[in-house]
Each structure stands twice: as structure tokens, then as C-alpha cells.
Amino acid sequence: MNYYSLNNRQNKSTFSQAVIKGIASDKGLYFPEKINALPKEFFDKIEYFSNEEIAYQVIKQFVGNEIPEQVLKVIIKETLSFDFPLVKLTNNNYILELFHGPTLAFKDVGARFMSRCLGYFSKENSKKTTVLVATSGDTGSAVANGFYKTKNVAVVILYPKGKVSHIQELQLTTLGENITALAVDGTFDDCQAMVKSAFIDDELNTIQLTSANSINIARWLPQMWYFFFAYKQLKQKDKDIVISVPSGNFGNICAGLLAQKLGLPIKHFIASNNANDVVTNYLKNGAYSPKPAQQTISNAMDVGDPSNFIRIKELFDNNIDNLKKSLSAFSFTDDETSKEIQHIKKEYKYIVDPHGAVGQLGLNNYLKNNPNTIGISLETAHPIKFLNVVEPLIKETIKIPEHIAAILDKTIVNKKISTYNELKQYLLASEKIVSLSE
């Protein structure tokens, strides 16, 4: 399988090259050259397959022969070492829990898969790879955990100072070893802009940089899997299925739409947004107008210029009318989100985090006019990660998982930066230290 740059279709790379580089030499995102639909028999019998078997069938065409079958199956097994339960609220409203991984967020899947792929490709390479990642919250902790102590890999995480939850910050700043956290005086968009600047800076050419944001295909592609897992659990209902995805950088919902292109029988997707409503507005008026990110209580979606939306447009040949047949988008305020957290707790005795609440709001908005469908919303993070938001709303103490309690007394270790030049100088200094030690 080859991948082409969305800036130039003639600029192509293999799977391994795309994983190691992160983005193309012309700074475009990679996109698969071919998307081959899975056979009908696969979906007819999907309930008889294990999650690992499903994952292998879904991903193998995108990996090709660059990772041996048995190695790829081990990578998948290690990635999917936790459950993806479906919780029933009503007969046509379900929640898919994606927070049962080690950092309690859906991004554990992509981070674990990518770290193992990069580890395989790097095992014969003595040169250090630096994984540079911007995070609005959960990406950083998932990447830090996934790459912790990986040989020949250093991880540098940029996060907006004061704009992630306390537990999120603890998760990405307390590991040490090959993980470094940089607290940026700014927003997630500022962090992302710094990362993009590093990739186009000729003075950093001596450093082997890659990205672990969802712009990297090895982070993005495995997120297809849990859409298949959800369908497997509801297939017998014989009704159209729609899925609501809390959306920030749009990698997750892009993976769902790619799964649909593979033949997954999902009728429609809903991009559920907070106040950062760039895509919601685009689907209304056809104008894509990025704007500065607004800070909300669903901070992982505080993105004013979602990187992966260009991939979504490519999936639909840049035709907005075709896109609207598969995708709707709704935007909600913090007040609406807070009330939904309270409503779900009171009505269903279920606790959602702020992102899951936005997902439910989007799903319910869609179901009003489509009552004969079955809806699934994604609960992308454990509510424990947002204690300061959730507990005052539900007036209840949330039990802290043991592995989270273990980090609560740890000291946050980070380096504070304000400008791209500070990031650049840090990277150059770190590379110099490595060179002197070799």
C-alpha cells in the first residue's frame, strides 16, 4: 500500500515511510492510494469474529507486506488488551465506552498501535527518532504511555498551559525517561502550529522527527476498529445505525467515515462539536473558515483548525453535497453540556465526561428527526479525568481508579515555553546531547 500527500498526489510513500515521517516532505497529510471495500461475507459473519480478528482484516490492506502477518497480529493483540463495552441507555440510544485503556481515553488505541509499529521499523535503526506531538489533553497522555521506554524513541509533548485537566497534566508530565513535556503559553492551536513549523524547518533536518498526532497514519487508521466493534454488537437489531463522535481535530470521525468506505453498514455520522464550530458552519454555508480555538469544559475538542478535515474532504472527493449524505454536525455550549451531564446522571444513573455529553447532545439532536434508527455516541474519556467539571454537576464523588490514584502525589515536571524558537532550541540542544553521548 502506498500513500500520497494531500498537497501533491505524485508525492508517494510506503506505509513504513509514512509512519516514520509523520507528514510528507511537502508538508501534506498522507492518504491511502487505494481503499478496497471488505467482502460482504465479512460483515455477514462479523459477530463470529474476535475483536483481534476484525482488526487484522480491517488494517492489513493499509499495512501491506511491510510488517509480517504474525508480527502485525501480535501488535494488534497488544494494542487491544482492553474492552470496548456498549452501554444501553434506551432501545435506540447506546454509548460505546472507549476509556478502558491504560490512560482512560480512546486515543490509547492509536497511540499503542503506532508505538509498536514505529518500534518495529526502528529496531534495526540506531538513529533516534523524536516523536513531536501537540495535545489538547488526552493525546499527550496516551502517546506518553504508548511510547514509554521505547528504544531509540524520544517523545516531546506540547500542551497548552492551564488548559488541560489536572489528571491529564499528571499523566503526561510524570513519566520521565524518554518523555518530555513542554507547557506552552497559548492554546492547542499554538501547540499544533509549533509542531507544524518544526517539520518545515530546514535547520531541524538533522533530527529524525515524526508526529504522533492523528495526522500520522498509524495513529489515525486503527481508530476504525471500534466502529466495527460497535456494529458487531448491534448488528442483530436490523435497524439503520448512526454514530455520534465528539470531534476536535476530526481524526476519530475521519476514521469512522473511512470504515464506512470499507463497507461498514453505518448509515450516518454526527460530528458533535463544542463552541469550536468550524465544521458545523462549513456544512451549513459551505465556507471553511478556521478561527482561534475557544476554551471550553470539553477541552480535548478545543480546536479551531482541525487538521484531519482535509482527509474527510478527500474521502468525498471534495464534494460537500456527497459529504452531507454521510455527515451532519452540531455545536453546543458549555451550559448545554453541563445540563446534559446532569440529565444523563439523573435519568440513566450513568456518568459521562464533558466530551461524551457533547456526543449525546449531537446524537439526540439527530434522533429527533430520525426516530427509527439506532444511535451510538462515543464516550471518549473516563469522567475521572474531568473531576473539577463533573463532580460539582452530579454532586457525587467519582471513584478514582488505582493506577490514577498512584500518580496524584507525583510532581509535575515540565519545561515552559512561549515561542517556536524556544521549541527549536530545545530540540537542537537535545539532539546535540544525544550526538555527544553516542
Q: What's the pLDDT tens digit per position in 259-296?
A: 999 999 999 999 999 999 999 999 999 999 999 889 99
Among candidate residues 146, 141, 158, the one with its CA nearest the CA of residue 110: 146
Q: pLDDT tens digits, residue range 126-138?
A: 678 899 988 877 7
pLDDT at 125: 65
pLDDT at 435: 34
pLDDT at 210: 85
Which is higher by pLDDT, 339 or 178? 339
pLDDT at 365: 96
In the predicted structure, residue 434 carries a pLDDT above the cut 50: no
Report the pLDDT averaged over residues 384-389: 90
pTM (predicted TM-score): 0.89
In the predicted structure, residue 432 carries a pLDDT above the cut 80: no
pLDDT at 225: 98
Report the pLDDT averaged over residues 140-165: 88
Report the pLDDT averaged over residues 406-421: 93
Kindly state the percentage of the chain with pLDDT values over 70.
Answer: 98
User: What count of other Cβ atoms lies within 10 Å of the Cβ of residue 247?
Assistant: 34
Confidence of residue 437 (pLDDT cuts 50, 70, 90): very low
For the chain, report the end-to-end CA distance as a whole number of angstroms. 35
CA distances (Å), 375 to each of 95, 98, 346, in order? 8, 16, 20
Report the pLDDT averaged over residues 338-356: 97
User: In sequence order, what are the beta bridge partners of 209?
Assistant: 130
Tell me if 430 sits within 8 A of 154, measured CB to CB: yes
In the predicted structure, residue 402 carries a pLDDT above the cut 90: no
Query: Which residue has 530540540 as its cell numbers?
Result: 427
In the predicted structure, residue 147 carries a pLDDT above the cut 90: no
User: What count of other Cβ atoms lies within 10 Å of the Cβ of residue 369?
Assistant: 8
CATH architecture of 83-106+220-394: 3-Layer(aba) Sandwich (3.40)
pLDDT at 135: 87
Confidence of residue 150 (pLDDT cuts 50, 70, 90): confident
Q: pLDDT tens digits, residue range 211-225?
A: 887 889 999 999 999
In the predicted structure, residue 235 carries a pLDDT above the cut 50: yes
pLDDT at 288: 93
In the predicted structure, residue 436 carries a pLDDT above the cut 60: no
CA distance 116 to 81: 13
CA distance 23 to 232: 33
Length of the chain: 438
Tell me if 112 sits within 8 A of 79, measured CB to CB: yes
Q: Which amino acid is at 103?
A: T
Query: Which residue has 509480517 as its cell numbers?
Result: 68
In the predicted structure, residue 359 carries a pLDDT above the cut 90: yes
Which is higher by pLDDT, 136 or 333? 333
In the predicted structure, residue 112 carries a pLDDT above the cut 70: yes
Question: What sign has the CA pseudo-torsion 193, 178, 116, 67?
Answer: positive
The residues annotated as belonging to the active site are 107
Return all residues near 217 (Cβ < 8 A) that are at least 6 apart: 3, 15, 18, 19, 30, 32, 62
Confidence of residue 181 (pLDDT cuts 50, 70, 90): very high
CA distance 152 to 138: 24
Report the pLDDT averaged over residues 346-371: 96
Among the listed ranges 4-18, 34-48, 151-165, which one has the minimum average pLDDT value? 151-165
pLDDT at 183: 96
Query: Which residue has 513504513 as its cell numbers?
Result: 16
pLDDT at 124: 64
User: What count of other Cβ atoms lies within 10 Å of the Cβ of residue 425?
Assistant: 12
Q: What is the 3-state secondary structure (H, E, C) of the chain?
A: CEEEECCEEEEEEEHHHHHHHCCCCCCCCEEECCCCCCCHHHHHCHHHCCHHHHHHHHHHHHHCCCCCHHHHHHHHHHHCCCCCCEEEEECCEEEEECCCCCCCECHHHHHHHHHHHHHHHHCCCCCCEEEEEECCCHHHHHHHHHHCCCCCEEEEEEEECCCCCHHHHHHHHCCCCCEEEEEECCCHHHHHHHHHHHHCCHHHCCCEEEECCCCCHHHHHHHHHHHHHHHHHHHHHCCCEEEEEECCCCHHHHHHHHHHHCCCCCCEEEEEECCCCHHHHHHHHCCCCCCCCCCCCCHHHCCCCCCCHHHHHHHCCCCHHHHHHHEEEEECCHHHHHHHHHHHHHHHCCCCCHHHHHHHHHHHHHHCCCCCCEEEEEECECHHHHHHHHHHHHCCCCCCCHHHHCCCCCCCCCEEECCHHHHHHHHHHHHHHHHHHC
In the predicted structure, residue 196 carries a pLDDT above the cut 90: no
pLDDT at 123: 75
Report the pLDDT averaged over residues 395-413: 89
Among candidate residues 165, 189, 224, 226, the one with its CA nearest the CA of residue 354: 165
Average pLDDT taken over every residue of the chain: 92
